């Protein structure tokens, strides 16, 4: 066919098999024998897709569905099998050379997973005993250990196995550096009655988007600092609040009471001082922990046994301290990698991910319309001024330079807030400071821009609600994220 003045129209290009093959991602097949592990590290910006072709396999205690692709990005993890399996590994052409993976070939006598599984069956026995006795609580398990020992992975593994048995454990995160179903800087708890999304750490944060995996709704409190020692009094106060809420859930829900609790904690360095163990002892007392698991450190195991020797829970139960070997697949997550993980969590909260796209609401807010409270650092000290500090003191005494810093104080909006994430407290703007401090988190907003001349803030929020009706909490953690809004 020809058109006057244009000549012959070229026929439409037909995709060839060669072109289709070139566009298809390269795939490999990986066969795993019983007890073997496929360990992989995928950096930010790369994607690794794994599909179970035959056999059975699991990731952190949750089984892979057969012939279902799972896309992993920005993670360091593993897939293990008890009876053997065949995996299909595929990556986009641009990512094929950026991920790292290998196969570990331990026997049943060499892998610590067998001891973890035996631990699960022991916990399941305690749950079954609690089920037979009306009003009895299931095991309350605390996991501690040094950095990069696999503490969170163990908690996820025990959670996954418990949900597969039909249990509904209450999982608690007291690690302020990482968030569980929430942003970093929070302490949170949630009941896990269904499976966890395999491609994420704990699942997506609750949002308005649809999800194939049932969403877990956490209770979160905002600490806003990277370490418990940055403000020990506030950290212990919030862990106590979380413990009260968790105990109430156990008392009101028989299924959760039978399943018990699994508690993740901050890392303890081998050279840690008395403060780190004091925080753990406080959590043990507040949550009425009866089993302490120490992963990957004989020294910490010995120290915990000394501190908890002869002690009993509020239910008059002895406290058992159990030492466990860490998995050989645990790798170090450096500061740069963890910063990218935090930034990815913030970006997903406001804009969604590859599966779900969210559209946050942007609004201009006057300085005077907001009630902002700053979380202050108050390092532990043995001075008499710190010992005399009142837990309910929030207004600094300007007449004395030696007065202790307040826990939280009202803050005036400034350029320092730009690119910061603020927590929206479930409290009123006229509530006393202690009520604002102890309030749970409703959600988060992001300060995209500060106009000091016009005295206005440009704020990003998941929904278009009025921000002046709730107080905002401002801390130093997570750190400001410059690249969220262009």
- 3-state SS class at 229: helix
The C-alpha R_g of the chain, in whole angstroms, comes to 25
Q: How many CA atoms lie within 13 A of 330 on its CB side?
A: 19
What is the model's pLDDT at position 252?
93
Angle at CA 398, nearest 5°, toward 397 and 402?
Answer: 70
pLDDT tens-digit series, residues 322-344: 999 988 888 888 888 899 999 99
Select from 160, 365, 355, 394 the least CA-distant residue to 259: 160
Delineate the domains of the chain, giving CATH numbers in brackets.
24-104 (2.60.120.1030), 113-324 (3.40.50.300), 360-474 (2.40.30.330)
pLDDT in tens, the chain (486 residues): 444 444 444 444 445 444 444 455 678 999 999 999 999 999 888 899 999 999 999 999 999 999 999 999 889 999 999 999 999 999 877 654 588 899 999 999 889 999 999 999 999 999 999 999 988 999 999 999 999 899 999 999 999 999 999 999 999 999 999 999 999 999 999 999 988 888 888 876 766 566 777 778 899 999 999 999 999 999 999 999 999 999 999 999 999 999 999 999 999 986 666 788 999 999 999 999 999 999 989 999 999 999 999 899 988 999 999 999 988 888 888 888 899 999 999 998 999 887 788 889 999 999 999 999 999 988 765 433 333 333 443 333 333 333 345 688 999 999 999 999 999 999 999 999 999 999 999 999 999 999 999 999 999 999 887 888 899 999 999 999 988 886
| Neighbouring-strand partners of residue 445 | 422
d(C-alpha 330, C-alpha 326), whole Å:
7
What is the model's pLDDT at position 203?
72
Backbone angles phi, psi at 417, to 5 degrees: -85, -10
| Neighbouring-strand partners of residue 101 | 40
291-295/320-324 β-pairing: parallel
Burial of 177 by CB count in 10 Å (0-12 exposed, 13-18 middle, 19+ buried)?
A: middle
What is the model's pLDDT at position 35?
95
**What region, left, alpha or beta, does residue 248 occupy, with left being phi > 0 and alpha being psi -120 to 50 degrees?**
alpha
Select from 77, 74, 76, 78 the least CA-distant residue to 95: 74
pLDDT tens-digit series, residues 398-452: 333 333 456 889 999 999 999 999 999 999 999 999 999 999 999 999 999 999 9
What is the model's pLDDT at position 273?
65
Select from 30, 40, 67, 38 the least CA-distant residue to 52: 67
Cβ atoms < 10 Å from Cβ of 231: 25
440 DSSP 8-state letter: B
Residues 6 or more apart from 156 whose CB is under 8 A from it? 60, 61, 196, 201, 202
383: Cα separation from own chain's centroid: 35
d(C-alpha 71, C-alpha 99), whole Å:
13
Whole-number percent of the chain with pLDDT over 90: 65
Taking the CA atoms of residue 117, residue 118, residue 119 and residue 120 in that order, the dihedral angle to the nearest 10 degrees is 50
Select from 76, 65, 94, 66 the least CA-distant residue to 38: 76
């Amino acid at each position: 066919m020809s058109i006057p003045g244009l000549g012959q129209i070229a026929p439409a290009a037909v995709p060839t098999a060669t072109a289709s093959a070139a566009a298809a991602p390269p795939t490999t097949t990986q066969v795993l024998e019983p007890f073997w592990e496929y360990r992989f590290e995928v950096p930010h910006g790369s994607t690794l897709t794994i599909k179970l072709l035959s056999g059975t396999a699991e990731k952190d205690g949750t089984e892979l569905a057969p012939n279902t692709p799972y896309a992993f990005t920005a993670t360091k993890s593993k897939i293990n099998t008890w009876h053997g399996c065949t995996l299909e590994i595929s990556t986009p052409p641009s990512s094929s050379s950026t991920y790292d993976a290998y196969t570990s070939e331990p026997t049943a006598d060499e892998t610590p997973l067998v001891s973890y599984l035996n631990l699960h069956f022991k916990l399941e026995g305690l749950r079954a005993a609690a089920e037979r006795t009306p009003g009895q609580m299931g095991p309350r398990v605390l996991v501690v250990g040094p950095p990069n020992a696999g503490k969170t992975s163990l908690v996820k593994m025990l959670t996954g196995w418990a949900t597969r048995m039909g249990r509904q454990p209450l999982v608690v995160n007291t690690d302020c550096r990482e968030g569980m179903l929430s942003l970093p800087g929070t302490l949170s708890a949630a009941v896990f009655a269904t499976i966890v999304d395999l491609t994420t750490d704990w699942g997506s944060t609750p949002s308005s988007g649809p999800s194939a995996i049932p969403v877990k709704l956490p209770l979160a409190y905002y600490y806003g600092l990277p370490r418990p020692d940055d403000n020990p009094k506030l950290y212990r106060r919030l862990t106590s609040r979380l413990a009260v809420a968790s105990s109430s859930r156990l008392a009101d829900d028989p299924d959760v009471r039978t399943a018990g609790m699994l508690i993740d904690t901050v890392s303890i360095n081998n050279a840690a001082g008395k403060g780190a163990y004091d925080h753990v002892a406080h959590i043990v007392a507040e949550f009425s922990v009866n089993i302490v698991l120490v992963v990957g450190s004989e020294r910490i195991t010995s120290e915990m046994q000394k501190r908890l020797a002869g002690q009993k829970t509020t239910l008059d139960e002895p406290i058992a301290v159990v030492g466990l070997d860490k998995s050989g697949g645990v790798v170090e997550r450096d500061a740069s990698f963890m910063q990218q993980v935090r930034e990815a969590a913030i970006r997903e909260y406001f804009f969604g991910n590859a599966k779900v796209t969210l559209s946050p609401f942007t609004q201009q807010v006057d300085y005077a319309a907001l009630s902002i409270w700053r979380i202050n650092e108050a390092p532990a000290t043995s001075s008499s001024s710190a010992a005399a500090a009142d837990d309910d003191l929030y207004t600094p005494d300007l007449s004395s330079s030696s007065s202790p810093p307040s826990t939280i104080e009202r803050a005036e909006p400034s350029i320092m807030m730009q690119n910061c994430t603020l927590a929206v407290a479930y409290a009123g703007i006229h509530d006393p400071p202690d009520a604002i401090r102890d309030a749970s988190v409703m959600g988060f907003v992001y300060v995209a821009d500060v106009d000091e001349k016009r005295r206005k803030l440009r704020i990003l929020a998941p929904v278009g609600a009025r921000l002046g009706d709730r107080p905002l909490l401002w801390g130093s953690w997570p750190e400001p994220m410059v690249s969220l809004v262009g």
